[in-house]
Amino acid sequence: MRISNPILPGFNPDPSIVRVGEEVFIATSTFEWYPGVQIHRSRDLKNWELAARPLDRASLLDMRGNPDSGGVWAPCLTYADGRFWLVYSDMKRRDGAFKDCRNYLTTAPSVEGPWSEPVYLNASGFDASLFHDEDGRKWLVNMIWDHNQTGADRFGGIVIQEYDVGEARLIGKIRNIYCGTDLGLVEGPHLYRRDGFYYLLTAEGGTEFDHAVTMARSRDLFGPYETDPIKHMLTAKDTGPEHLLQRAGHADIVEMGDGSLFMVHLCSRPLPETRNLPVGAAKRDHCRSPLGRETAIQRLVWEPGAFPRLAHGGVAPAAEIDGPELPEAPVEPISGHRTFDAGLPPEFQWLRTPQPERVFSLDARPGHLRIFGRESPGSTFEHALVARRQDAMSCRAETRIDVSPGDYQQFAGLISWYSGHKFHYLAVTADEAGARVLTVYSCPADWPDRTMTRVIDPIALPGKAPIDLGCDVDGARLRFRYRVQDGDWTDAGVTLDQSAISDESADGAGNNFTGAFIGLCAHDTSGRGRHADFDRFSYRATPG
């Protein structure tokens, strides 16, 4: 069985993997999207389905006010003592010298729950991971943030502290066990016990084009740790821009029932038309990946007493690997056409709030998703946006909207979204006279001007009938279209830069961590909460 990468396409970064019996689970970061943490399930490592999003209530996660690309960073999913253990971060501040990052633990008998009330762990740094040692003791490892350092590298090393299950808190001495290599920015720790060694897997180089996976080992849990002689066991930093998988790093390892070993890691796939910078470029400013950081998998060989190596040789990630010796276990594909009769489709999420009833309703008008116009695009408190990941380089999306805006402060429609400063928006609104019009708003994040602009003249819309809205993404280009009363589709008359809806645009990859979404939204900056009703949504990948 051959497995093509990425195995989780679209925004699915920072994978943590665990096998329980015949099933394998991957948890990935969700940042400001709610509910928090995505857990996918597979039986063959090739076919994956969404199994759960555990952080689905206010006591577990409330991200109102969190910045773009704040929220849930790098969860760690493990299994021990008959339970799943999920450690996660809630990043409240992420810019400047300080980071306010709260780390929590919740447990459950299955990934579907019920998940326990969270235990607060610490706030010393992010990428917290729980290690279950052979003697039953449990240890939390995380990178530590040093605000006293200057420059980009405030990553102060990997620290470890014991977690006491009975007392539900960290106890004992905090030890700094590993400071990484000269690549810097050491983070993403996971510990393993094998052949009498403790192996410490880390990520280095930052989550840009110098990202890498580094392993070290020690006979003693607290070190000293010896770095792998080849330094980085996985990296794409020295590949050419034509290499499919870039920015490879932040990994975790799983052992299958037959003893075969695999490593999952994050990566990105820059658009082919933007792969134009030389080998080793630390910042490929024109290399853009709208799908964000995705999850890929590599097969390992791990000889007794040795460091693990990629089975295909070298250190660069492979686009295709040999899977385990298991029968394929296909899963039901996500439907391309969605209605709202049976609830919110599972691929959809919203932003930040644990009170979805303030943002949308599936009961107010049966068969419709009613979105209540809330604050402006980019509000970090109450933003009424419901969306799904863009998971293909080229795709098509359509919806039908029934809305009667009263004035120009009320607008709703179809949006391609990355963050409050990166979006393209086909909106039904009203002109100064209160007549209904269609327009396109765009904020492509061109630094230093990150202002939303109206990029077409308003188009008059007849009557009050529902309007069909559509968008077509072809790599780095996006075009909107519309249709009135089942007539012919009409192009909105502008080509937009979809490559701007990416990690790397504007502020650079180091400041952005999610990926492109396409979805439905309503805004009412008057504060009156005018709603919009959507009765369908379709999405499908198209040949690029």
Is residue 279 over pLDDT 80? no
Identify the pLDDT of residue 454: 87
Collect contacts of 140-145 with beta carbons under 8 A, ≥24 apart. Answer: 140/87, 140/103, 140/170, 141/177, 141/189, 141/190, 141/191, 141/200, 142/103, 142/189, 143/186, 143/187, 143/188, 143/189, 144/176, 145/98, 145/99, 145/101
Identify the pLDDT of residue 459: 96
Is residue 106 over pLDDT 80? yes
Q: Is 303 a catalytic residue?
A: no
Is residue 96 over pLDDT 90? no
Alpha helices in 112-249 (DSSP H): none
pLDDT in tens, 294-307: 999 999 999 999 99
SS (H, E, C) 223-250: CCCEEEEEEEEEECCCCCCCCCCEEEEE
pLDDT in tens, 40-89: 999 999 999 999 999 999 999 999 999 999 999 999 999 999 999 999 99
CATH of 2-322, one of 2.115.10.20, 3.40.50.11540, 3.30.565.10, 2.30.110.10: 2.115.10.20
What count of other Cβ atoms lies within 10 Å of the Cβ of residue 80?
16
Contact by Cβ (8 Å): 1, 7: no
Alpha helices in 40-139 (DSSP H): none
Identify the pLDDT of residue 510: 44
Mean pLDDT of 298-324: 97
- 499: three-class secondary structure by DSSP: helix
Identify the pLDDT of residue 509: 40
Contact by Cβ (8 Å): 470, 483: yes
The CATH number given to 337-541 is 2.60.120.200
Q: How far is CA 541 from CA 335, 392, 486, in A?
A: 12, 6, 23
Identify the pLDDT of residue 507: 54
Cis before 6 (ω within 30): yes
- 426: three-class secondary structure by DSSP: strand
First to last CA, the chain: 26
Catalytic residue among 382, 398, 432, 504: 382
| pTM of the full structure | 0.96
Quote the Cα angle for 8-14-20, to 5°: 70
Chain region(s) in the chain for CATH 2.115.10.20 = 2-322
